[in-house]
Amino acid sequence: MAAVIRVASQDPRFATLVAALDADLAVKDGDDHAFYNQFNSSAALTHCLIYQIEGQAAACGAFKPYDKQTVEIKRMYTHKDFRESGIATAILKHLEGWAKELGYKRCVLETGKRQPEAIGLYLKNGYNITANYAPYIGVSNSVCFEKRI
């Protein structure tokens, strides 16, 4: 049985998935990893999700306020054993719904050009590429997206 569970970043299941995400990004980002890592601390995230299948944490995602109308989607990751099964879309939809519940009107997010799967996920789910927002302005490897919710 699958379940989407709201947690805080201190949840050990979320922390384990984020550690796997960070290891994956360290390889994909190469020399740029330290730069991006400074914007990806999970310590203060309070709006986090775990997608759990038969008791196993399969995927995660989170958001944080960006401004009064906008949240920034963060820490999207699906464990390699569960990829290409629609779980990332489910997490994204749940994050959007949660943000909407809280009165937000828009989601933004950033991913890297070296992550074509992530770019495809966001395009497939109605996100539009936009000019890079702070702190990614002028960062040539960043691709920023937005979506009205």
User: Cβ distance 110 to 144 under 8 Å?
Assistant: yes
More confident residue, 115 or 126: 126
Q: What is the pTM of this model?
A: 0.90
CA distances (Å), origin 93, targets 102, 132, 140: 14, 23, 28
Q: Domains of the chain by range and CATH?
A: 2-148 (3.40.630.30)
Query: 31-57, pLDDT tens digit by residue?
Result: 654 555 545 566 678 999 999 999 999
User: Cβ distance 90 to 43 under 8 Å?
Assistant: no
For the segment 105-111, the average pLDDT, to the nearest whole number, is 97
> Over the chain, what is the mean pLDDT?
90
Query: 56-104, pLDDT tens digit by residue?
Result: 999 999 999 999 999 999 999 999 999 989 999 999 999 999 999 999 9
Give the pLDDT confidence score for residue 33 in this predicted structure: 45
The DSSP code sequence of the chain is -EEEEEE-TT-HHHHHHHHHHHHHHHHHHGGGHHHHHTT---TT--EEEEEEETTEEEEEEEEEEEETTEEEEEEEEE-GGGTTSSHHHHHHHHHHHHHHHTT--EEEEEEETT-HHHHHHHHHTT-EEEPPPTTSTT-TTEEEEEEE-
Give the pLDDT confidence score for residue 32 in this predicted structure: 58
Query: 16-26, pLDDT tens digit by residue?
Result: 999 999 888 76
Residue appearing with tokens 């384990």 = 16
